[in-house]
Structure 1
Amino acid sequence: MNEKHVLKLPQDLKEQLGVEPGTQVKVHIGADEIKITTQKPVEIRKRRWGVIILTAIMTAIFLGYFLTRKIYQISLVGSESVATMVLVLTTISGFLSFAAAFIQLKHQSGSAVEAVSWRNFPTVALSCTLISFMLMAGLFWIAGNLFKGATFDLFTSTALFALITSVEVQAVNSIVPQLSSRLLTNIFIAVIVSGVILAMISNQNLYWWKHNLSFLGTNQAVASWEFNLALIFAGLILLALVDYLFASLKRVFPKSRQLLVLRILLTLLAIDLALVGVFPNNTQMHTLHTRVAGYLIFLVLALIFGIKWLLPDISKDFLHTSWMIAAALLAGEILFQVVGYLSLTAFEIMAFLLAFSWLVMLFERLNDYLEPIQNRQYIIK
């Protein structure tokens, strides 16, 4: 049985929040602030109507396209298929839904979105859209292999499209109000992991691992844009995450030079990560790609070795873990460059996993400074 919490509020504050006795609210307790949020029935109804209207418009476009083309039996996957229309129209629906919800909540006092700056909106919106696109592309790739040659009549295809679009729009509507530094961290992880895995699966028949990890982004690879775009957007999300985190950390650690240096290094890391995707390892860009990829390693090592000075009140456990990861990176470098035990692909994957894991741990540590937070449901009295 869930414990019930009762919140007593002054009458004038109740009127300002627009709540009555018995209303359920969420209390967000942060490092230096308390936020009380509630979803009014009118807002919930507006969102539901938004989902219905957007789904209906996209479904009408789907139906109109195939009626115009006089196609009445539609393939599950292919050039003119349910999958193609979902990847185009449903992805656009997700982006529009994200934009509408973000703009609405940005003007709403007390919402979590208030902490996300307008300059970060394009990056966050496009990144969420990219994740959605990759997820749907992966699911349809699996479905296409499981149900080869599957086709549906126009009515069934339209119903399937409407269902997927409705789920997508509702999912986006539920994600936007929860935007936070931790969610941005999870988006950063999801973009990199989904992009790399999708690129690996797409190129499994080309034996990409006999070349190197960067092969996935070259013009010899299948759908290399997925790999490169994932790196570019991961860099942009990292840039947005750094901006979001350190703007908030200023309130916790005012005038800290160490945090300023840490912010600069992480910003350079984000830009460099995006440049690895901008300059793929093709013949004409090989030197440039190798150089920016090398800078990535140096920046991560500089962060690891300097973390004791850069991060206030660093815990011994985190510090020891950082030293172990640094030692593993150096050992991998020796085994690859000097001993010749590791192949280039094995070294790249090992270095990527170690550096990526440490970076995620760092952001979780930074989030801990901001969020000794409890979210509880209270009943107004």
Structure 2
Amino acid sequence: MTAADSPVTAHAAPTLRVEAEAILAASVSGISGAVIGLLLGVTGAATQLWGNWSFAVWAALAAAVAAAVSSAVGYWRARTTSSVQWRREISSWRYVVSTVSVVIAHVALTAIATLSMFAVLARSFIGVQLNSFWTTVLLGVTTGIAAWLTYLSASRMTTARLTTLLVSFIAIGTIAAMLTASDPLWWEYHFSQLGTFGDLSSFLFNGTLIAGGLLVTTFTLYVGEDLRALGESERGIRIVSTALFIMGVMLACVGIFPVHVHLLLHNLAASGMALMFLLLLVGGPWIMPRMPRAYFLASWAFLAALVCSIVLFAVGYFGLTAFEIIVFALIFGWLSVCIRFMQVAGEPDPLKG
């Protein structure tokens, strides 16, 4: 069986039911958004595109709510209506946790995307005042599109799509935390300094780590089935799933215990995540022997980059912040590469023979 035929990826193909339900979600959300937009226009509560409690803020909030409901319904429906048996065998509490993580990621990405879109519009139409017609249309379209896209995304979740969601969420969340940091010189200390200010940037940084950790634990639901479809041993599957689960818990703990709240627990969590990363990186040939050679070559390249980073940090070429960001990027970069190779591992290996 190839990865393309695995029980994890088989349900990702478009179906009439999913498409119809996505349109229904878009219609309901669009109508609801249009009603809210009409009220905003009639009352004059949000006639400006950008600013404090401007139309952009209302649009981001409405789109986030639409994304939350649609992604939750879509992800949960995929469990009850999909022909994939392993989804039904997942314990309810684990599926609830995975649903929460998927919803949070979709909500955050939707809100940030909406704010970014209206920031561009505000720059393009400087000084424009929105009347009732435009507040109705814009909010209806925004919430409708948000519901449509998030329903499709959540209802067709696969390991590869979960990886894309995770990396996008982590990257955008941390960049947003950097941009909103109250101390512009935070980088002179360390990466975790972003979580110590007690303001919006700290909320974004710590919240991103916590939700990102939940998303990583969700990987264990998908990766195990991918590896099982490739014929990996149950022992190897348990090791990979356990290591990823611990990585997720440790990542969440980094956000739960900011460096100024509990330094020891913060450092232990960060170290635990790094150790699990090294275990999977170095032990790959023995833990997942059926993975293609190209994956192992890529893993050794990541290991070499990690060693070089440690050496450059040790000799003082760059500071702690740069080192932490590099290691952070290497971990999630490797995770993306690993997942993508899992999807094609069943194909003939061009490096063999």
Give me the TM-score of the superposition, normalised by structure 1. 0.77
Among residues 29, 38, 42, which one is paired with 1:63 in the alignment? Answer: 38
Larger deviation, residues 302-311 vs 57-66: 57-66
What is the 5 A alignment of 1:43-62?
Answer: 47-62=22-37
Distance 1:127 1:84 in 2: 19
Distance 1:145 1:229, change over 3 A: farther
Match for residue 83 of structure 1 among 56, 59, 64? 56
Letter in 2 for 1:59: A
Residue 299 of structure 2 is aligned to residue 322 of structure 1: yes
Displacement after TM superposition at 1:134 (Å): 2.5
What is the identity, as a one-letter code, of the residue corresponding to 2:332?
A: F
**Which residue number corresponds to residue 259 of structure 2?**
281
Q: In the superposition, relative to structure 1, how do residues 115 and 141 fare at CA in structure 2: closer, same or farther (>3 Å)?
A: farther
Residue type matched to 2:280 in 1? L
Evaluate the alpha carbon distance shift between residue 139 and residue 36 of structure 1 in structure 2; reply closer, same or farther with a 3 A threshold: closer
Paired residues for 1:1-381 under 5 Å = 30-31=5-6, 39-40=15-16, 47-64=22-39, 67=42, 70-71=43-44, 74-110=47-83, 117=90, 119=95, 120-144=98-122, 150-203=128-181, 206-219=184-197, 222-253=200-231, 255-282=233-260, 284-337=261-314, 339-369=315-345
Q: 2 CA distance for matches of 1:371 and 1:84?
A: 47
From the two aligned structures, give the one with the greater helix fraction: 2
Matching residue's letter, 2:269:
V
Q: Which one has a larger percent strand, Structure 1 or Structure 2?
A: 1
Amino acid in the other structure paired with 2:205: F
Change (3 A) 1:46 1:234: closer
Deviates more, 1:223-232 or 1:247-256: 247-256
2:177–2:205: 8 Å Cα contact kept in structure 1? yes
The answer to whether the Cα contact below 8 Å between 1:112 and 1:179 also exists between their aligned partners in 2 is no
Distance 1:243 1:97 in 2: 21
- Pairwise CA distance, 1:271: 0.9
Asked if the contact 1:195/1:230 (under 8 Å) is kept, the reply is: yes
Gaps of 5+ in 1: 1-27, 373-381
CA deviations on 1:281-320 (whole Å, 9 max, x unpaired) are: 32x3233322322222222222222112111224433323
Task: Kindly tell me the number of residue pairs found equivalent between the two proteins.
Answer: 340
Larger Rg: 1 or 2? 1
Report SS of the residue matched to 2:130: strand
> What is the alpha-carbon root mean square deviation over aligned residues?
3.3
2:175 and 2:48 mapped to 1: Cα distance?
26
User: Which protein has greater RCO, CA pairs closer than 8 Å, 6+ apart?
Assistant: 1
Q: Which runs of 5+ in 2 are unaligned?
A: 349-353
Amino acid at match of 1:275: C
Evaluate the alpha carbon distance shift between residue 104 and residue 350 of structure 1 in structure 2; reply closer, same or farther with a 3 A threshold.
closer
Q: 1:34 Cα shift? A: 7.1
Deviations 1:185-205 (A, max 9, x none): 111111111112222233397
